[in-house]
Structure 1
Amino acid sequence: MDLSRRLILLVCGVLIAAVAVTGGVFAYGAHGALLERALADGRHVAELAARSTALVREVPRAAEELLSAQIVAQASLAAELVAMGEAARQPARVINDRLRAAADAGAIEEIVATDQRGRIVYRSRPVADVAYGADAAPSEQPFTTLLKGSTTPVVRPAQRLEAGGPVIKPAAVAGADKPRVVRVDADVTGLAELARRAGVERVIDELLASRMVEAVWLLAPDQRVLAHGAVTGIRAAGAPAPDADELAAARSASGGRKAAAVLAGPWVLAAAPVTLSNNEPFATLLVRMPAGDLDGGWRTPALVAGVVTLLLLILAVGRIAATVGGRLDEPLDRLAEAASALHVGRFNPFTLNDLCDRDDAAARAARAFRAMAVEVTQREEHLEALLQSARGEPEEEPAPEPEGAPADEEYRDGQGV
């Protein structure tokens, strides 16, 4: 193989290697970028879901605190109303009617007022007797402090007293004129409905409805499942617990106080701590979402690199074929030109020197042709000389032979002529 073909193969090999390396690096980089994008999306989704979970817990709590302040204000007004009624020596029936009118004007379920011993003496509507003194039930014990001179309002959590009934939130204040319990039970069923509609379950439902998330868990610090939802599952008390990889992702997020994501097969596991207004995480939100087609990151670059490599191979083979074909046709063209020159008598043997110096079949053919051409040229020159010599001398008659000459002498004389 001569130097030119070696150079062509070397350049093509270097180009093919460069294209292959570039395609491989690009495919690796694209795959890594897609993987990092999938993990970043998982962390982002987990962070947003954790913030939404914290928000839906804070909003009902803030709303309940605001309602508590309103109920305390209503109880204070009721205490003033009772004090003024007693100061005016109004009968209990009149005070009850005024309390009933105040309750009917707003979302108040009941207003009651006791005497100094905790016995109910005024009420907005007939209810069962409730003791607030020494015989108070455990649920009513917090209100007995108002009978002992405390002026701090007492607010109890909202609760549903009976199945299908309203959600009641009680609040009580001390009497305006003397120690007593003035209690207002407000109907906060709307607040409970708000907490249900904008609670953690709603956040989970919205995540699943987006089809970006396949499963969601709200985990307590001890890894208990507080809430769960999945696209193909049903949220229930006995919700499927996360597996080892999912629990590891949750521990990583809760321990680092920031969102974390890992790749587990075809899934991205992302977790983020749910932090309340006091900056203390009370739970961890874990999501499982599809990782997507990560292999697509290297398919396209690999395909491009393969196509470019194939094109380079085709160009290299074509170039080599053209070069080799040109080198094979060149000796034939030179010999054809030499034959044409020999035919018209203008052949110069020195024109084939470079071709004859080669070491291949074409060189051997060129050397044989040159030798033949030189021989033919020499014979033509010799024949031409003989012809010119013959044309320039007159023809002579043969001399008569002497009689009696020997036959061999005649043969030798004839040869001499």
Structure 2
Amino acid sequence: MTLTRRLVLMVAACIALAVLAISLVSAWLGRTALVAQAEVQAQSVARIVAESARLTEISLEEMDAVLVDDLQTLAFAVGSLGDAGAPGLGGRFAEIVARGNLASLWLVDRDRRILVSSVGDYGALVEGEKLPPGLPARALADLVDGTRFAAALGGPIDGVRYVGVRVEGGRALIAGQRVTVLDPVRAANSLPVLLAALIDRDDIRAIRVFDDAGATLAAIGDEAGGEGVPAADAAELAASTVAGTAAASRFGPGGLLVAAPIHDTAGITIGAAVLSMATARLERMLVDYLVYGALAAAAVFAVGVTAAALFARRIARPVAAMTRAAEEVDGRTFRPESLDGLSGRADELGRLARVFRHMAIEVQAREEHLEALVRARTAELEQKNALLEESKRRVEAELDAARSLQAAILPQALPAHPSYAGKATMVPARELGGDFYDFFAVDERHLGIVIADVSGKGVPAAFFMAISRTVLQASARESRSAGACLAAANTALCAQNPMDLFVTTFYGILDTETGTLTYANGGHNPPLMIRRADGTIVDLPRTGGMALGVMPDLPYAERSVALSAGDTLVLYTDGISEAMDRDGREFSEERLKVALGDAHARAVDLVLAGVTDAVTDFVAGAEQSDDITCLVVRYNGPAGTFAPDRDAA
């Protein structure tokens, strides 16, 4: 995706998210405002309920007082109708009761005997009638005695309220009025009537009113009797409102529930009003906010994409020019004037273009300089490589010549003699080797046998090998003893050894008439002797001598061993016993003896081939670490009494 598209999408997405976020925040604020408005409405209803209850109570009390006054006035008027013995007075009392909607009228004397009653002129009934037992005797006595003119005679008795007035002659008139006369007033001012007036106003669906004990005082609304407010939820919300003395709200299954506390005139919470309000308006508002927000986001997104595309193209155009310039620098086709228009800008892109152009010019100059240097160095290296190749060819030719000379100075076969036969091989680890072997006739009866291993490898070891061989041959011809020969050779080598090399050497003299081998060993591997009779393989006893070239004037001990006809000597260097495979394991003397298991019955050339083949199979292609040298000599007895080739066949 290109930078322009990324920039356009990023700007447009940020704008759209911002508009949606503002819409969501506005919807949340609108919801909060509607809930707060509902709580205010609930508080208003609670105040209306409290005030209505207070006014209803006051009005009922005042009407009750007016009723008492009217009864007292009526009783006073009735008391002035005439003497108790006047004919027809009882009938008048009955008519007054019927017309005045009274309960009863009684005219009593000091002894509280009924003189006249509203039951009419029926003496027998009057004589059997009695005053209600709950009338206060003290108040009646005050009226009869003239102490008081009028008095309310306590509370209602059996639903009737009684008042009395003084009548001349020590009498009192008692009038009774049923309390149900105020029921229409109470019904007109009752709480359900008030709540019914509030239903369906401002989304109010139902109202429940609770006292401070949690009892339902009134319920009205949809689903008959206020069932629109779930009783359990409303009671729980009302209890929390009464306990907290503050308005509370909750979204219920049927809509929004809002509760507000009801306070009396002293500010004490005496109950709570719970309103169930429809959420249709809230839902419409939220939908409107979301729809308008989505439309605004789409419009702003479109505008933002267009504006971002324009600005992004304006920004990306210099970047594209810089990209082309970088590609031209890489392709060696950059022209500094191609950035003149961009480098003339005063903003960051113009500064970048100026820096890039300066850098590109320097890079081109450095590349041209480097290319010139590379061409010069390449020509110089080609000339030196040619010289090195010539030198390498010359060195290889010289090494080949040296290798050929080294191979030429080593004897290829033993001197022809019927008393012995032999075979030898030397495989150098590098171009030139440090191992060597030799056999020569000391005189007509004796054969000298040498095998040696110079320390190190390569050209120095090869030169020291040649010197050592020459010195050993000279010493052998001058000395009849093997130990004296090694001692003389050691002293001579120490005198001409500038590189402090040394050579391990075994030198033996074979008496061809007797088969006696006299030998001295200068730190070399002891040769192996293979008996013809039983194939036994043993090491020649050690003489304990030190390698030649280490220290001058050292003596070398000698030992002798008798060879029988057909016995074989195997002389070798540590390049055989210490040859290693890829895992670093050595061939070892044990494996060498295994390879020589049937050597007593085989010709010497086959014995030598068996040893070299065993080493080759063991190393399995691993790099050769040391020179490999082996010499096999078989004693045939005096005057050739043993015929090895015929026996081996």
TM, length-normalised to structure 2: 0.40
* Separation in 2, partners of 1:15, 1:203: 56
Kept in 2, the 8 Å contact 1:34–1:297? The answer is: no
* Separation in 2, partners of 1:287, 1:235: 10
Q: Does 1:242 align with 2:235?
A: no
Identify the residue that residue 219 of structure 1 maps to in structure 2: 210
Kept in 1, the 8 Å contact 2:12–2:308? The answer is: no
Kept in 2, the 8 Å contact 1:82–1:95? The answer is: no
Kept in 2, the 8 Å contact 1:111–1:185? The answer is: no
Kept in 1, the 8 Å contact 2:15–2:300? The answer is: no
Kept in 2, the 8 Å contact 1:171–1:184? The answer is: yes
1:334-392 deviation per Cα after TM superposition (whole angstroms, max 9, x unaligned): xxxxxxxxxxxxxxxxxx8634999xxxxxxxxxxxxxxxxxxxxxxxxxxxxxxxxxx
Identify the residue that residue 174 of structure 2 maps to in structure 1: 182
* Separation in 1, partners of 2:106, 2:47: 41
Identify which of 295, 301, 313 aligns with 1:309.
Answer: 301
Identify the residue that residue 112 of structure 1 maps to in structure 2: 106
Q: Does 1:149 align with 2:142?
A: yes
Q: Does 1:17 align with 2:5?
A: no
* Separation in 2, partners of 1:356, 1:180: 127
Q: Does 1:255 align with 2:246?
A: no
1:13-412 matches, within 5 Å, as 13=10, 16-17=13-14, 20-21=17-18, 23-24=20-21, 26-81=22-77, 84=80, 89=83, 91-93=85-87, 95-96=89-90, 99=93, 106-126=100-120, 131-132=130-131, 136-137=132-133, 141-149=134-142, 152-154=151-153, 156-157=155-156, 170-173=161-164, 175-176=166-167, 178=170, 180=172, 182-185=174-177, 189=181, 191-210=182-201, 212-234=203-225, 242-243=231-232, 245-264=233-252, 267-277=255-265, 279-291=267-279, 292-293=282-283, 295-296=286-287, 298-299=289-290, 300-317=292-309, 320=312, 354-355=337-338
What is the one-letter code of the residue matched to 2:17?
A
Q: Secondary structure at the match of 1:183?
A: strand
Identity across matched positions, percent: 14
Kept in 2, the 8 Å contact 1:71–1:184? The answer is: no
Kept in 2, the 8 Å contact 1:79–1:182? The answer is: yes
Offset at 1:231? 0.9
Kept in 2, the 8 Å contact 1:78–1:99? The answer is: no
What is the one-letter code of the residue matched to 1:354?
E
1:195-219 deviation per Cα after TM superposition (whole angstroms, max 9, x unaligned): 2233222233233343722332121
* Separation in 2, partners of 1:314, 1:185: 89
With a CA cutoff of 8 Å and minimum separation of 6, indicate the structure with the bigger relative contact order: 1
* Separation in 2, partners of 1:326, 1:211: 63
Q: Secondary structure at the match of 1:233?
A: coil
* Separation in 1, partners of 2:34, 2:339: 70
Kept in 2, the 8 Å contact 1:207–1:213? The answer is: yes
Cα distance change, pair 31–124 in 1 and its aligned pair in 2 (3 A): same
Q: Secondary structure at the match of 1:175?
A: strand
Once superposed, what is the RMSD of the aligned Cα atoms?
Answer: 4.6
Identify the residue that residue 405 of structure 1 maps to in structure 2: none
* Separation in 1, partners of 2:140, 2:201: 55
- Bigger Cα Rg: 2
* Separation in 2, partners of 1:156, 1:310: 82
* Separation in 2, partners of 1:104, 1:115: 24
* Separation in 2, partners of 1:206, 1:263: 24
* Separation in 2, partners of 1:48, 1:307: 43
Identify, as 1 or 2, the structure richer in helix.
1
Offset at 1:311? 2.7
